[in-house]
A and B are shown apart, each in its own frame.
Chain A
Amino acid sequence: MSGVDDDVPGGSDRELLRMEGVTKSFPGVRALDGVDLTLRGGEVHVLLGENGAGKSTLIKMLSGVHRPDEGRITAHGQEVHIRSAQDAERLGIATIHQEFTLVPGLTVAENIFLGRQPRTALGLVDRKTMRAGAAELLHRVRLDVPPGTPVAELGIARRQMVEIAKALSLNARVLIMDEPTAVLTSGEVETLFGVVRELRDAGVGIIFITHHLEEIGALGDRVTVLRDGRSVAEVPAATGENELIRLMVGRDIAEQYPRRRPDGPGAPLLKVRSLTRYATGARRGTAAAPVFEGIDFEVRAGEVVGLAGLVGAGRTELVRAVFGVDRYDAGTVEIDGRTLARGDVRAAMRAGLGLVPEDRKGQGLVLDASLQDNLTLARLDRDTRRGFVDRGGQRRAAAAVAERLKVRMSGLAQHARTLSGGNQQKVVIGKWLLTDTRLLILDEPTRGVDVGAKVEIYRLINELTAAGRAVLMISSDLPEVLGMSDRVLVMAQGRLAGELPAGEATQDAVMELAVRAPGRNTNESAGESFDVR
């Protein structure tokens, strides 16, 4: 293993890192397959790819979390083996993950120097030196907070800057940033870009992951596109967005969303009337905004209704109330003209509703139970005769639906935890195919799902609606909403901001409704919450 700072002076074009033919498999998935990547000093190298394309696995190799099965990683022409976070640190590689690794209860300075605090002669922490060092680093990232501030008091953008300061304190020559802009407002993004450009000009090599294509031209120098675990192209950052999408997806968008729209509207299945839920405490006379208010819509047999809106617009809360998971304060939910009891999941299921929740692992799956148990969980009632469960029948039903959904598994006894994201999602959806679900509510159904599984999920949506069932789909992936929905409902701040038929639903039209909020928060950048491609 070679130190990075030993030999080469800080020229800007020298090669910092090279990955050649890097391959990594996990049980059931080949996450990376012969990936090549080079990083030079003084460049911002954008890593682009859909969810599941292998970006995370790739950067985890550089930060010492995973090790390649095959292929080699070289730093300054010498092969290196990054076995731990410490190895990465010695090589000058710092990673800023999406989930920050700061300790909220400690101060900014303590976080920056965590585990490396300067000591006094007595062995105590030398606070003075530490704060002075921290102040200098904070100045470099243009973060104007006292080093003694507890991290808990900082917003997300400032915490990110603290992470960058920490990376600088480690003399990082390679900075890996995993979707740093995903949680920032547009003003904060500009500040971040300013800091990143300065680092680049100082000769640091930056690997930058983003889903926002417009950021690539603004910040990047080169782009490596990953698709299904392979590096499919390395192109200049000036490449057009359409070309980038084509490289990323591997086909035209039209093919990616194989929606066959119904000929005419079917019979109304679900009617939601002035559904309202007040925020907790609102009834005591505070002015808190309702979680959702006065929501009216219907879903007809055979259609896909998209539910678009910014994160926090109340979409998930709305569908959870419709499905009986959470309470609501006013309004009605009707199925086939019959009013559904409030807060009663079982009644909703009997009426033909099913919900694929947003948080697959936390709410959709029993991770350490078998696929058979997971697939048959929602039909446990109907498989029970006089208290006894028909396990044979369950096995046959689970096998049939796993086959239909092409779940990639070693067998029905496999635990849900060990499946890939896409296959896990198929299991959650399969659970509702095994009940008589007539209206399937999907909350972010393709988040963290690979391209192949995505298309399979879309096909399944087509099959369901062709059979006269209906789908209500929440998605923050705008192209997906537009590509799959027959109608798009847009929510903004707990209200239904509008409804667009498929023909009129464009990204601009949806976005305009989504940000047309009564009152507050209009300065929030709308692009942050959508994957605009």
Chain B
Amino acid sequence: MSAELKKAVPAEAAGRAPDRGGPGPWFSRAVLRNGPLGGLIALAAVMAVLSRDFLNGQNLLNVGVQASVTAILAFGVTFVIVSAGIDLSVGSVAGLSAIVVAWAATDRGLPVWTAVLLGLAVGAAAGLASGALVAHGRLPAFIATLAMLSVGRGLALVLSGGSPIAFPASVSALGDTLGGWLPVPVLVMIAMGLIAALILARTYTGRAMFAIGGNEEAARLSGIDVKRRKLVIYALSGLFAAVAGIVLAARLTSAQPQAAMGYELDAIAAVVIGGASLSGGSGKASGTLIGALILAVLRNGLNLLSVSAFWQQVATGLVIALAVLLDTLRRRSAR
């Protein structure tokens, strides 16, 4: 869906039609101008009107918790999408990393911090492997990470024997609350978001992501070591996926081999709703956070309204399409 929408952008740029339609009604103008944030506010306003429980503080924290795993995955995917790649493996890698932590701590009796480091390392290594296939093997990112999706899930099943493994209690605190009300997953999400923003805006790898995604050949001719950067980019995506997997397992207090299945699609949706272009070269951590929150608000609100899970899927699809459509219109009118 979004690939198709993105194609519309260059076609429009090539057409260079002179004068586009004048200002529309104020509402659509306000939404167009403010992009994803405007969409989030509008959606939250609608939910607040439809359900009295939505604006309740506890419920809003729930929305944050629901958004957290998707958001952390999506921050990692943002790196990849900004560099004009795609990572379909993050859900599997998240599941695998959580299994590795639980297996090392519970089955093998390793110290918890070692187990966590091992889980993070496995996530980064999985990303590195995808990155190597993309950068050195010249596989399309779609294929390389599709392969990793399968391998990661398979390894999680092998390691766990197909059954859940209890998560070490001290790590499970990550799924808990601070002071009885502030959910730790939300804090982790905010911390990872800040790190992602810092990486994108201020680090060599971050700036290289935009250059590679915008024009890989120009980046190469300007002395960016494109291959090595791609390794780092996919490794970062794997690392963020590992964090997301650990947070998810902590909330459930057990690592499940099937955990986070299909989450990669939510993550990609969050990145794209947040205004990143699948053709690369643009994207922001704040946009990705908003994208994840939009998905979470939608699900939470529809739950409050007792909409069936089947219809929720339909609604989610429509919101993704609408969000990206609006964003495309916004960019077009900005040119």
Q: How distant is B85 from chain A, measured CB to nearest CB, in Å?
A: 16
Q: Within 8 Å CB of B219, what residues of A?
A: 366, 377
- Given the contacts A346-B223, A380-B208, A380-B224, A368 and B203 also touching, CB distance less than 8 Å: no
For A359, give the chain B residue with the smallest CB separation: B217
Q: Mark A362-374, 1 if CB is under 8 A from B, else 0.
A: 1111111100010
Docked complex Cα distance between A66 and B16 (Å)? 9
**Inter-chain contact B223/A357, CB cutoff 8 Å:** no
- Given the contacts A66-B18, A355-B221, A373 and B210 also touching, CB distance less than 8 Å: yes
Q: Within 8 Å CB of B214, what residues of A?
A: 366-369
Q: Within 8 Å CB of A364, what residues of B?
A: 218, 221
**Inter-chain contact A387/B204, CB cutoff 8 Å:** yes
Q: Mark A330-369, 1 if CB is under 8 A from B, else 0.
A: 0000000000000001100100000101000011111111
- Given the contacts A388-B202, A391-B202, A378 and B217 also touching, CB distance less than 8 Å: no
**Inter-chain contact A368/B207, CB cutoff 8 Å:** no
A381, CB-defined interface residue at 8 Å? yes
- Given the contacts A66-B18, A388-B202, A389-B204, A378 and B223 also touching, CB distance less than 8 Å: yes
For B15, give the chain A residue with the smallest CB separation: A65
**Inter-chain contact B18/A67, CB cutoff 8 Å:** yes
**Inter-chain contact B215/A365, CB cutoff 8 Å:** yes
**Inter-chain contact B223/A349, CB cutoff 8 Å:** yes
Q: Which of A345, A373, A387, A417 contacts B203 (CB 8 A)?
A: A387
Q: Within 8 Å CB of B332, what residues of A?
A: none
- Given the contacts A373-B211, A389-B202, A345 and B281 also touching, CB distance less than 8 Å: no
A4, CB-defined interface residue at 8 Å? no
**Inter-chain contact B220/A345, CB cutoff 8 Å:** yes
B107, CB-defined interface residue at 8 Å? no
Docked complex Cα distance between A190 and B202 (Å)? 60
Docked complex Cα distance between A367 and B13 (Å)? 12
Q: Within 8 Å CB of B18, what residues of A?
A: 66-67
Q: How distant is A359 from chain B, measured CB to nearest CB, in Å?
A: 8
Docked complex Cα distance between A378 and B218 (Å)? 10
Q: Within 8 Å CB of A388, what residues of B?
A: 202-204
Docked complex Cα distance between A431 and B211 (Å)? 14
For B18, give the chain A residue with the smallest CB separation: A67
**Inter-chain contact B221/A369, CB cutoff 8 Å:** no
B160, CB-defined interface residue at 8 Å? no
Range of interface residues on chain A? Answer: 20 to 34
B282, CB-defined interface residue at 8 Å? yes
**Inter-chain contact B202/A346, CB cutoff 8 Å:** no
**Inter-chain contact A346/B225, CB cutoff 8 Å:** yes
For window 225-268 of A, CB contacts with B under 8 Å fall at none
**Inter-chain contact A380/B202, CB cutoff 8 Å:** no
For A365, give the chain B residue with the smallest CB separation: B218
A325, CB-defined interface residue at 8 Å? yes
For A26, give the chain B residue with the smallest CB separation: B16
Q: Which of B13, B203, B215, B223 contacts A366 (CB 8 A)?
A: B215
**Inter-chain contact A389/B220, CB cutoff 8 Å:** no
Docked complex Cα distance between A66 and B223 (Å)? 39
Q: Within 8 Å CB of B225, what residues of A?
A: 346
Q: Within 8 Å CB of B203, what residues of A?
A: 384, 387-389
For B210, give the chain A residue with the smallest CB separation: A369
Most buried by A among B16, B203, B206, B214: B214
Docked complex Cα distance between A357 and B218 (Å)? 9
For B335, give the chain A residue with the smallest CB separation: A418
Docked complex Cα distance between A33 and B215 (Å)? 34
Q: Within 8 Å CB of B222, what residues of A?
A: 377-378, 380, 431
Docked complex Cα distance between A296 and B231 (Å)? 38
Q: Within 8 Å CB of B221, what residues of A?
A: 323, 325, 345, 355, 357, 363-364
Q: Within 8 Å CB of B218, what residues of A?
A: 362-366, 377
For A364, give the chain B residue with the smallest CB separation: B218
Q: Within 8 Å CB of A381, what residues of B?
A: 204, 223
Q: Within 8 Å CB of B207, what residues of A?
A: 373, 380, 389
Q: How distant is A338 from chain B, measured CB to nearest CB, in Å?
A: 18
Q: Within 8 Å CB of A65, what residues of B?
A: 16
Q: Mark B171-212, 1 if CB is under 8 A from A, else 0.
A: 000000000000000000000000000000111111110110
- Given the contacts A365-B215, A365-B218, A389-B203, A377 and B282 also touching, CB distance less than 8 Å: no
For window 210-269 of B, CB contacts with A under 8 Å fall at 210-211, 214-215, 217-225
Docked complex Cα distance between A417 and B13 (Å)? 10
Docked complex Cα distance between A131 and B177 (Å)? 78
Q: How distant is A310 from chain B, measured CB to nearest CB, in Å?
A: 24
Q: How distant is B218 from chain A, measured CB to nearest CB, in Å?
A: 5
Q: How distant is B13 from chain A, measured CB to nearest CB, in Å?
A: 8
Q: How distant is B209 from chain A, measured CB to nearest CB, in Å?
A: 11
Q: Within 8 Å CB of B210, what residues of A?
A: 366, 369, 373
Q: How distant is A23 from chain B, measured CB to nearest CB, in Å?
A: 14
Docked complex Cα distance between A325 and B210 (Å)? 21
Q: How distant is A439 from chain B, measured CB to nearest CB, in Å?
A: 15
Q: How distant is A204 from chain B, measured CB to nearest CB, in Å?
A: 29
Q: Mark A314-325, 1 if CB is under 8 A from B, else 0.
A: 000000000101
Q: How distant is A30 from chain B, measured CB to nearest CB, in Å?
A: 15
Most buried by B among A349, A366, A378: A366
Q: Within 8 Å CB of A380, what residues of B?
A: 204, 207-208, 211, 222-224
Most buried by B among A67, A345, A362, A368: A368
Docked complex Cα distance between A362 and B214 (Å)? 10
**Inter-chain contact A368/B217, CB cutoff 8 Å:** no
Q: Within 8 Å CB of A387, what residues of B?
A: 203-205
**Inter-chain contact A368/B223, CB cutoff 8 Å:** no
For B201, give the chain A residue with the smallest CB separation: A391
Docked complex Cα distance between A462 and B132 (Å)? 45
Docked complex Cα distance between A25 and B220 (Å)? 34
**Inter-chain contact B220/A368, CB cutoff 8 Å:** no
Docked complex Cα distance between A369 and B214 (Å)? 7
For B205, give the chain A residue with the smallest CB separation: A387
Q: Within 8 Å CB of B201, what residues of A?
A: 391
Q: Within 8 Å CB of B281, what residues of A?
A: 366, 368-369
Q: Within 8 Å CB of A384, what residues of B?
A: 203-204
Docked complex Cα distance between A369 and B283 (Å)? 12
- Given the contacts A357-B221, A378-B222, A391-B202, A367 and B208 also touching, CB distance less than 8 Å: no
Most buried by A among B16, B222, B225: B222
Q: Within 8 Å CB of B217, what residues of A?
A: 362-363
- Given the contacts A366-B215, A384-B204, A388-B202, A377 and B220 also touching, CB distance less than 8 Å: no
For window 63-86 of A, CB contacts with B under 8 Å fall at 65-67
Q: How distant is B59 from chain A, measured CB to nearest CB, in Å?
A: 39
Q: Within 8 Å CB of A325, what residues of B?
A: 220-221
Docked complex Cα distance between A377 and B219 (Å)? 7
**Inter-chain contact B282/A368, CB cutoff 8 Å:** yes
Having A368-B281, A388-B202, one finds 20 other A-B pairs with CB under 8 Å, namely A65-B16, A323-B221, A345-B220, A355-B221, A362-B215, A362-B218, A363-B217, A364-B221, A365-B218, A366-B211, A366-B215, A368-B282, A373-B211, A380-B204, A381-B204, A388-B203, A388-B204, A389-B203, A389-B206, A391-B202
Q: What residues make up the interface of A, taking CB atoms closer than 8 Å to B?
A: 65-67, 323, 325, 345-346, 349, 355, 357, 362-369, 373, 377-378, 380-381, 384, 387-389, 391, 417, 431
- In the assembled complex, 20 residue pairs joining A and B whose CB atoms fall closer than 8 Å, in A order, are A67-B18, A325-B220, A346-B223, A357-B221, A363-B215, A363-B221, A364-B218, A364-B221, A365-B215, A366-B219, A366-B281, A367-B214, A369-B214, A369-B281, A380-B222, A387-B204, A388-B203, A389-B202, A389-B204, A431-B222
The 9 closest A-B pairs by CB, nearest first: A366-B214, A377-B222, A378-B222, A384-B204, A366-B215, A349-B223, A363-B217, A369-B214, A346-B223
